[in-house]
């Protein structure tokens, strides 16, 4: 049961990452405000495109591992991927104009990655009846 819940949460997270990445590609200024930083791009959205592609790839990997029923790969990816929201949170909190409220999406992502990555790695493989 916990594996199914973990798969569901990871799949929703993957779809969310694809959405966030797509938003960074299509509406960079709106996505930037939601991310928790202010960036004086002067028409150069290179940072936004880099972040967008990173998020889309991360979301696609999560969804692909779920669809291929790769429990261990998904668990490892979630645990190793925890470094991304931790770093993002530190960047957001390093800005004087931000507080915990702007860091909350990153904190939630850290919890999701750490908890469900651990659950997936600790779960016993399911054996199929012959």
DSSP string, 85-108: HHHHHHHHHTSTT--HHHHHHHHH
Q: HSE on the CB side for 76, CA within 13 Å? A: 5
In this predicted structure, what is the pLDDT of residue 31? 87
Cα 16 to Cα 39: distance, rounded to the nearest angstrom: 23
Asked if residue 5 has pLDDT above 80, the reply is yes
pLDDT tens readout for residues 105-120: 899 999 999 999 999 9
Structure tokens at 103: 């860091």
pLDDT tens readout for residues 54-107: 999 999 999 999 999 999 999 999 999 999 999 989 988 998 888 888 889 899
Instruction: Provide the residue ranges of all domains of the chain, joining segments of one domain with +.
Output: 2-122
Longest dimension (CA), the chain: 63
Cα 77 to Cα 129: distance, rounded to the nearest angstrom: 29
pLDDT band (50, 70, 90) for residue 127:
low
Instruction: Judge contact between 2 and 51, C-beta under 8 A.
Output: no
pLDDT band (50, 70, 90) for residue 129:
low
């Amino acid at each position: 049961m916990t594996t199914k819940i973990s798969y569901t949460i990871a799949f929703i997270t993957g779809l969310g990452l694809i959405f966030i990445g797509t938003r960074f590609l299509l509406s960079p200024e709106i996505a930037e405000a939601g991310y928790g930083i202010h960036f004086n791009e002067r028409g150069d959205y290179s940072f936004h495109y880099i972040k967008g592609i990173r998020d889309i790839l991360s979301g696609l990997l999560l969804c692909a591992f779920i669809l291929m029923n790769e429990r261990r790969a998904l668990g490892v990816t979630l645990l190793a991927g925890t470094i991304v929201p931790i770093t993002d949170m530190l960047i957001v909190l390093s800005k004087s104009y931000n507080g915990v409220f702007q860091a909350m999406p990153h904190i939630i992502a850290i919890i999701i990655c750490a908890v469900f990555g651990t659950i997936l790695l600790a779960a016993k493989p399911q054996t199929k009846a012959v």
